[in-house]
């Protein structure tokens, strides 16, 4: 069987050096080069179990596309394949519709209490849910989401942020929260909103950024999710769309591509994509240096893949930590955590190997790992067994936590 003439891959192998999945499997079919070759072959049986396993084994991190000098975009190729053939998706398409309705997604998290853990057996839909819901074993979701009581939570941090903003005038800001922060880590958007100053806009009807559905190739559900967000933010007047998740920021920048160019939805999506700002960029542009509240010890940064490969200023979090922490910041950042949306729950074996590979590079003496992605933070909290090491968001190194009951 011949390879398609439009195959841009030069077979150079540059992608092998950056692919997290290949790094821990060392199998050519799991490399971007191997996946590209298989997908470009004519007549191949796409329902072959090994082929399905291969195409599912992609975190959509974008590392391969970023280093390819030939212009091969394997990440998009795999996403298009998942869109065309639903059996490549780990979860059925309608599941992603739950993310459109935040109340339903909250119920999904709470359902963890009634399902047992099923570690290592997440390749079926039922196993995936059990692995996902096993989050309850290590992370206790907030009793109420951030959006359900945003004003109360922000007020709880207002006193702690007094005097931290300096005299610089802040832009009119809207806050995009994201699913994980809303349901599991509400202290993060609470702190960011407090730092953004009075009058921050927080539409309660906002929902998931659409990345889980988009990465799975479930474009129909990703589009529905984005439209709901366009409706939530469309009538607001602001200069900056602030988010504390690099993955959400990356996805928001992709929103225009889901709509026909020139359409109303495209114009609205383009407006928001040009306004979105990841938290550390906001800090560097509008906030003065401030003393870190992080406990004694060394702090390392885990670089989210979407921060590294999709955002214009990937080094922003490093600059924030360096100016706030000084010598306490270990400048050599950690790489991929292995989360990749639902990948960590569908392939816990590979995800765990990626996580262990990354953590093995942690510098001696580090007791805090900071990140700027909600999914990465979730993976770090679930994966770190050493009680002497904690994981947090960059904003957590700037503002201390307060008792949840007092928020």
Among 88, 113, 129, identify where a domain stops: 88
235 found inside a domain:
no
Q: From the CB of residue 252, how many other CB atoms can be counted at a distance below 10 Å?
A: 27
Handedness of CA 336, 340, 341, 345 (dihedral sign): negative
The confidence band for 142, taking pLDDT boundaries of 50, 70 and 90, is low
Q: What is the pLDDT of residue 362?
A: 94
The 3-state DSSP composition of the chain as helix, strand, coil percent (nearest 5) reads 55, 10, 40
291 found inside a domain:
yes
The confidence band for 102, taking pLDDT boundaries of 50, 70 and 90, is low
- Asked if pLDDT for residue 125 goes beyond 70, the answer is no
Q: What is the pLDDT of residue 266?
A: 97
On whether the CB atoms of residues 157 and 401 are closer than 8 A, the answer is no
289 found inside a domain:
yes
On whether the CB atoms of residues 370 and 128 are closer than 8 A, the answer is no
Q: What is the pLDDT of residue 341?
A: 83
- Asked if pLDDT for residue 285 goes beyond 80, the answer is yes
- Asked if pLDDT for residue 94 goes beyond 90, the answer is no
Weakest mean pLDDT among 126-130, 227-231, 329-333, 382-386: 126-130
Among the listed residues 237, 360, 379, the one whose alpha carbon sits nearest the alpha carbon of residue 305: 379
Among 88, 119, 139, identify where a domain stops: 88
Mean pLDDT calculated for residue range 94-108 = 61
Q: What is the pLDDT of residue 225?
A: 94
Half-sphere exposure of 183 (CA within 13 A, CB side): 22
- Burial (Cβ within 10 Å: 0-12, 13-18, ≥19) of residue 39: buried
The β-bridge relationship of strands 240-243 and 276-278 is parallel
Q: What is the pLDDT of residue 138?
A: 58
Q: What is the pLDDT of residue 1?
A: 41
211 found inside a domain:
no
- Residues 191-200: tens digit of each pLDDT: 999 999 889 9
347 found inside a domain:
yes
258 found inside a domain:
no
User: How many domains does the chain fold into?
Assistant: 2
Among 88, 116, 137, identify where a domain stops: 88
229 found inside a domain:
no
Domain containing residue 300: 285-406
pTM of the model: 0.89
397 found inside a domain:
yes
- Residues 381-396: tens digit of each pLDDT: 888 877 789 999 999 9
């Amino acid at each position: 069987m011949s390879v398609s003439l439009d195959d841009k891959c030069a077979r150079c192998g540059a992608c092998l050096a950056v692919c997290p999945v290949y790094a821990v499997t060392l199998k050519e079919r799991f490399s971007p080069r191997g996946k590209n070759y298989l997908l470009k072959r004519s007549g191949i049986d796409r329902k072959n179990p090994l082929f399905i396993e291969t195409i599912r084994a992609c975190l959509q991190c974008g590392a391969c596309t970023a280093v390819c000098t030939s212009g091969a975009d394997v990440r998009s190729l795999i996403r298009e394949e998942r869109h065309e053939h639903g059996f490549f998706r780990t979860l059925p398409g309608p599941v992603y519709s739950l993310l459109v309705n935040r109340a339903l997604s909250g119920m999904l998290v709470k359902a963890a209490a009634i399902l047992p853990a099923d570690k290592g057996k997440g390749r079926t839909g039922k196993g995936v849910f059990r692995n996902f819901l096993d989050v309850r074993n290590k992370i206790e979701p907030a009793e109420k989401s951030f959006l359900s009581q945003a004003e109360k939570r922000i007020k709880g941090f207002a006193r702690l942020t007094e005097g931290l903003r300096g005299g610089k005038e802040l832009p009119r800001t809207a806050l995009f929260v994201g699913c994980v922060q809303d349901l599991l880590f509400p202290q993060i958007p609470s702190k960011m909103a407090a730092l953004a100053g009075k009058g921050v806009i927080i539409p309660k009807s906002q929902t998931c950024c659409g990345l889980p559905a988009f990465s799975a190739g479930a474009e129909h559900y990703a589009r529905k999710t984005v439209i709901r967000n366009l409706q939530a933010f469309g009538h607001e007047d602001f200069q900056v769309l602030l988010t504390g998740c690099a993955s959400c920021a990356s996805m928001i920048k992709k929103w225009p591509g889901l709509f026909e160019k020139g359409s109303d939805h495209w114009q609205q999506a383009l407006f928001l994509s040009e306004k979105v700002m990841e938290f550390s960029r906001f800090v560097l542009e509008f906030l003065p240096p401030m003393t870190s509240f992080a406990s004694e010890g060394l702090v390392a940064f885990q670089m989210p893949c979407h921060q590294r490969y999709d955002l214009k200023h990937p080094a922003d979090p490093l600059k924030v930590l360096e100016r706030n922490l000084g010598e306490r910041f270990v400048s050599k950042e950690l790489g991929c955590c292995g989360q990749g949306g639902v990948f960590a729950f569908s392939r816990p074996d590979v995800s765990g190997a990626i996580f262990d590979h990354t953590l093995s590079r942690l510098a001696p003496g580090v007791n805090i790992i900071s990140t700027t992605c909600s999914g990465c933070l979730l993976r770090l909290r679930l994966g770190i067994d050493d009680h002497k090491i904690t994981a947090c968001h960059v904003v957590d190194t700037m503002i201390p936590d307060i008792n949840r009951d007092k928020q």
